[in-house]
Structure 1
Amino acid sequence: MAQEMLRCGTAEIDRLVAAGLPYEERSGVRHFDANDLYNLGMYSTTSKTQPELAFRMLFRFAGRPVDDLLRTKNWDFQVHLECPDCAGEAPWRLEEPDIVRFGGNVADVTAPAPGSGSATYTATVTTTGARTPVLSPVLRQLTGEYLAAGYRWQMIPVPMQADYALVHELGATSCIAASLLLAERFRGAGYRAEAKRGWFCGVLGGALDLPHACVEVEDDDGKVKTIDIAKAQLAARLSASTGEFQELCLGSIYNKVIPSTASGNAALAHHECGSRTPVHVRADIRSVR
């Protein structure tokens, strides 16, 4: 997997290991952490690794006019829940799509009945976009300072992202860690703010679950604005042509994001069977044409 993801040979892998790339040996075979490999590929500057190619493909929309991101869009929304160490039949609790307050809609909902092992939640979710840029000079200054700080976006396990102080001490960031820290700074400046989790839609046709988080903050006009700080940061890495999308991320909403009712450091789902092992959540969100 490592050679395929990084598009390199055995000698290059050996050099990475010698330089400190951690691995676990099982039956004489080296096994690497997928996050480590993704982060190596993302910043390799070879322009040929799977993470680099996927990043350019996934964010190609960010360099286009944003009008398409503001129109109404329908999604076939499915979330698969798995309780790995299930202790028996019990109700499921999913932090459901929270889109109505942003002008969207949730219909044809099939919520999971009490059960064991696994379950599925399905719905048709309608999203839309709107230009509602942040007005507060203070909020814009704090956001700009964060973006200019030079934190490196990385793939980080979700439980670690909740420890946002540690993540940023390491010079790294992620959507959840960034949103938690920025929300804290907004509150320190006297604003009502909260990091919220959700889903980033339309990734590889819906077959890739990406944890996502934004900051919701009450602006000087009394309206709640959404700051998608991580997407603004990632778009800035792509090219200078993404300026319009970066500005959209600073207060506005767009149709590729479905917010949930979960706060930034909360689990998206829970099974009330008594198991202490977190529920695995995998989203499959596909555009309805």
Structure 2
Amino acid sequence: MANSIEFIPAEYSDKTQSETMAQEMLRCDPADIDRLTDAGLPYESRSGVRYFDVSDLYNLGMYSGRTNTQPELAFRMLFRFAGRPVDDLLREKTWDFRVQLDCVECDEVAPWRFAAPDAARFGGRVVGGAAPEPSAGSAAYEATVTTVGAQTPLVSSELRQLTRDYLDSGYRWQMIPVAMQADYELVHALGATSCIAASLLLAERFRAAGYRAEAKRGWFCGVLGGALDLPHACVEVEDDDGALKTVDIAKAQLAARLSPDTGDFQELCLGSIYNKVIPSTASGNAAFGYHECGSRLPVQVRADIRSMR
């Protein structure tokens, strides 16, 4: 199992998961953990307890082939929609969008900058969503966001070929810390990929081919009841017909891994929009939130996005 993934490099690793949590996530026993560490799974020992990086554990579970690890079960639940008819992804959908911003080790009142939802860019709308007032430590953002889907497939044969070349390149999707994803050259040098890293590289290739393209961040919604922060990224590119299209390269790749019955959804990811994604104003390698207090620690952004009926 340990030979099937690339471990998170030390400069991006954050070993916070105890051995007990690792056993629970991977559905294994202490002897299995010993075998994994002997095979190279990085860890830190604190007070006699081994701690692991959550991305390493997630990736081990995802590619274990056991079928019962937490990551495998979560993946199947996350993508169960992808094998269904895409009509439901094209209708108007409204979300209760709430974000908590926390600035660690901050005790100074200062302005906040938050990359708010920008659903209007693709025909949706945002109601409410007042910018956070200057404060110390924490702030909140709340809005009602409506998204819509539309089938607008790529018409450029060159854009389609570049996208297909990427999908056929053999990069393996892995859970990767956001800061490392921005270092997309490192990610791909390891033979891995992720939504932000893939979007940054594909946008670069689109621009090299003469197209206006940018990786943009947002949120993937309606997951596990909604109370889960799932930052997302895709490529926005101006197609030959002059329309702005989105290429959701990572979701196409993950859907293909799940089942051959996801072909309609994979095609939707190549130019079209669907209602489970809320775009933001943030570029692909930018943070969602900043606090101008001078703290060197990044702002923690936790989203709670729930479908409204």
Following superposition, the deviation at residue 87 of structure 1 comes to 4.4
Q: Deviations over 1:169-205 (max 9, x none)?
A: 0000000000000000000101000000000001111
Paired residues of 1:111 and 1:122 also in contact (CA < 8 A): no
1:258 maps to 278
User: What is the aligned counterpart of 2:30 among 7, 10, 14?
Assistant: 10
User: What is the aligned counterpart of 2:200 among 173, 180, 183?
Assistant: 180
Match of 2:33, SS? helix
- Aligned AA for 2:88? D
Q: Deviations over 1:111-164 (max 9, x none)?
A: 321101011100000000000000000000000000001101111110110010
User: What percentage of residue pairs aligned between the two structures are identical?
Assistant: 78
Question: Partners in 2 of 1:51 and 1:250 — Cα distance?
Answer: 26
Question: Partners in 1 of 2:231 and 2:263 — Cα distance?
Answer: 24
Is 1:227 the counterpart of 2:247? The answer is: yes
Following superposition, the deviation at residue 110 of structure 1 comes to 3.7
Task: List gaps (5 residues or longer) in structure 1.
Answer: none
2:143 maps to 123
Match of 2:235, SS? strand
Question: Partners in 2 of 1:110 and 1:205 — Cα distance?
Answer: 25
Is 1:29 the counterpart of 2:86? The answer is: no
1:97 maps to 117
Question: Partners in 2 of 1:118 and 1:237 — Cα distance?
Answer: 39
Paired residues of 1:135 and 1:221 also in contact (CA < 8 A): yes
Following superposition, the deviation at residue 109 of structure 1 comes to 2.2
Following superposition, the deviation at residue 210 of structure 1 comes to 1.3
Match of 2:279, SS? strand
User: What is the aligned counterpart of 2:228 among 208, 219, 222?
Assistant: 208
1:160 maps to 180
Is 1:138 the counterpart of 2:158? The answer is: yes
TM-score, L = length of structure 1: 0.99
Match of 2:253, SS? helix
Paired residues of 1:136 and 1:219 also in contact (CA < 8 A): yes
1:194 maps to 214
- Aligned AA for 1:93? R
Match of 1:283, SS? strand
TM-score, L = length of structure 2: 0.92
Q: More deviation in 101-110 or 254-263?
A: 101-110
Question: Partners in 2 of 1:167 and 1:275 — Cα distance?
Answer: 28
Question: Partners in 1 of 2:227 and 2:131 — Cα distance?
Answer: 21
Question: Partners in 2 of 1:226 and 1:271 — Cα distance?
Answer: 30
- Aligned AA for 1:230? A
1:112 maps to 132
Q: More deviation in 263-272 or 108-117?
A: 108-117
- Aligned AA for 2:292? E
Q: More deviation in 109-118 or 75-84?
A: 109-118
Match of 1:184, SS? helix
Where do 4+ consecutive residues of structure 1 move more than 2 Å?
108-111
